[in-house]
Structure 1
Amino acid sequence: MRPIIGITSYVLPASWGVWTDLPTALVPHDYTEAVRLAGGRAVVLPPDDLDADVLDRIDGLLLAGGADLHPSLYGQEPGPYTVAQPDRDAGELTLLRGALDRDLPILGVCRGMQLLTVVAGGTLHQHLPDTLGHEKHRPGPGVYGSQQVLLDPESRIAALMGDDLTINCFHHQGVADPGSLTVTGRATDGLPEVVEDPERRFVLGVQWHPEVSRDRRLFGALVAAASKELTQACADR
């Protein structure tokens, strides 16, 4: 029985067949396929802030990448380059807080890492070129930046990554203050690339996009943690 991994999604205009610019709940297939290849069953979760009851029916939560978080969530006004989706923020905050209450396994990717940070009381840089003086984290439209990540050798992420430390990133915002989370990986320019909560069973955020390469190290770890959740849930029934 495969563990069920809920993947957050967003609503954007999409076109297919005879349909044009139809509001659509979607997520890149890379996420669902990465979960499948890691041994999980992917379920797409549209934005919904009414409750987090769906968490009682899944075994792990994957916070997907996407638009910027609204800066009001960390006490700032929007800058000129910030593009937010408040409806998605509200739905994902509901899910994330509910998942933390349940100690559900959580993997945050890019925006997902930033959401973990904000819920932990941290803050973000709204536009990295203004902070770092370069655009290596988002070289151009649809172009991933390739970098080496420096990891804390005692961390969970170091144990998962092994010797291959090349990452592919696409983001113009980043973590300024991790709040109560622990930064366990950084880019060579010092920007946090990984956050963890060592007090919880599995809470991991990465600023890069492991779904693009279907990275079984990270998705496999999420599925493994979710499998333990599923086994415990079955034992409790």
Structure 2
Amino acid sequence: MTAPPIVGISGRRRPAAGAHDGPAALDELDVEVYFAGYADRLADAGALPLHIPVRADPGEVVARLDALVLTGGSDVDPDLYGASPRPGAAHDRGRDLREMALLAAALERGIPVLAICRGLQLLNVHFGGTLVQHLDHHPLGRDGAHDVTFLPGSVLHSVYGTTVPVNSLHHQSVDVVGNGLVAVGHAPDGVVEAAELPGRDVVGVQWHPEQLAHSDPIFAWMTDVASVARAASPGATASG
């Protein structure tokens, strides 16, 4: 039996308070976290999900992966795209730089990338694009908040068809699209909801497919292209 593809999932480091079952003295420690839906959906699709700790060397860990998922979270530091932060905004510059290093290593190695919500925004900034720092009137909702329409011929059009209802949990979006990227999905109000790197298995979506009530087909796509990348990798082996 062929071994499942290993898909790395980026996370974040947070104070342990509220995230453990031990004594209060442990509140002063840190934990590494991401929402479990990312791993659950990948496992359901047949992949082997792997959490990437903060201290993992980006190049070393990507060398052992078959694909990379960049997860959601806090706003990308506007300094990275030449803008001033809006008042009261919170950023995690350390996470930005770690994930950009993971992305750079994945692009250099040629493995598939799925960038989700903040991940899409980071992908866009990595390629020299900019972001809208706050959307005043974009719909929000846990499931089916609005439709996304895809560009014919795009990867996401092949995954979803012309239009799909998505959830909407973001208050930022792609503004100027990064060099080489193509905006392939839009909401009815014109907000960019998806982007791709043509000719590569590199896709970003602005919604949260891991939180939908149904099994989103993007994870089957991720597993399929990661399996192809694994088979093509030097030293690829089968198990069983």
| TM-score normalized by the length of structure 1 | 0.90
Rounded to whole Å, the distance in 2 between the matches of 1:51 and 1:172 is 28
State the Cα deviation string for residues 62-109 of structure 1 (Å, max 9, x = none): 000011110111011111242111111111011001111111100000
* Percent identity (aligned): 36
Alpha-carbon offset, residue 144 of structure 1? 5.9
Which residue of structure 2 aligns with residue 158 of structure 1?
157
Aligned length: 228
Please list, as runs of the form range in 1=range in 2, the aligned pairs for 1:163-202 lying within 5 A after superposition: 165-180=164-179, 181-200=181-200, 202=201
The answer on whether the counterparts of 2:143 and 2:166 sit within 8 Å (CA) in structure 1 is no
**Structure 2 SS opposite 1:7:** strand
Equivalent residue for 1:59?
66
Verify the 8 A CA contact 1:49 1:91 in the aligned structure 2: no
Instruction: For 1:150 and 1:162, locate their aligned partners in 2 and report how far apart those are by CA, in whole Å.
Output: 9
Tell me the SS of whatever aligns to 1:211.
Answer: helix
| Residue of structure 1 in register with 2:224 after alignment | 224
Q: Secondary structure at the match of 1:188?
A: coil
Q: Does 1:18 align with 2:22?
A: yes
Alignment of 1:1-237 (within 5 A): 1-14=3-16, 15-20=19-24, 21=27, 22-48=29-55, 50-129=57-136, 134-136=137-139, 138=140, 146-162=145-161, 165-180=164-179, 181-200=181-200, 202-213=201-212, 215-233=215-233
- With 203-212 and 172-181 compared, the bigger mean Cα shift is at 172-181
| CA distance in 2 between partners of 1:19 and 1:210 (Å) | 35
SS at match of 1:5: strand
TM-score, normalised to structure 2's length? 0.88
Q: CA deviation at 1:229?
A: 1.0
Letter of the aligned partner of 1:17 in structure 2? D
Q: Where does structure 1 lack aligned partners over 5 or more consecutive residues?
A: none
Q: Which amino acid in structure 1 is aligned with residue 11 of structure 2? A: S
CA distance in 1, matches of 2:53, 2:95: 8
Q: CA-atom RMSD, angstroms?
A: 1.9
Matches of 1:199 and 1:161 in 2, distance apart? Answer: 18
Distance 2:53 2:157 in 1: 32
The answer (yes or no) to whether the contact 1:38–1:216 under 8 Å persists in 2 is no
Q: Give the unaligned 5+ runs of structure 2.
A: none
Secondary structure, counterpart of 1:108 in structure 2: strand
The C-alpha deviation readout for 1:152-186, integer Å capped at 9, x for no partner, is: 12211011013661000101110001112100010
Alpha-carbon shift at residue 150 of structure 1 (Å): 1.4
Change (3 A) 1:198 1:112: same
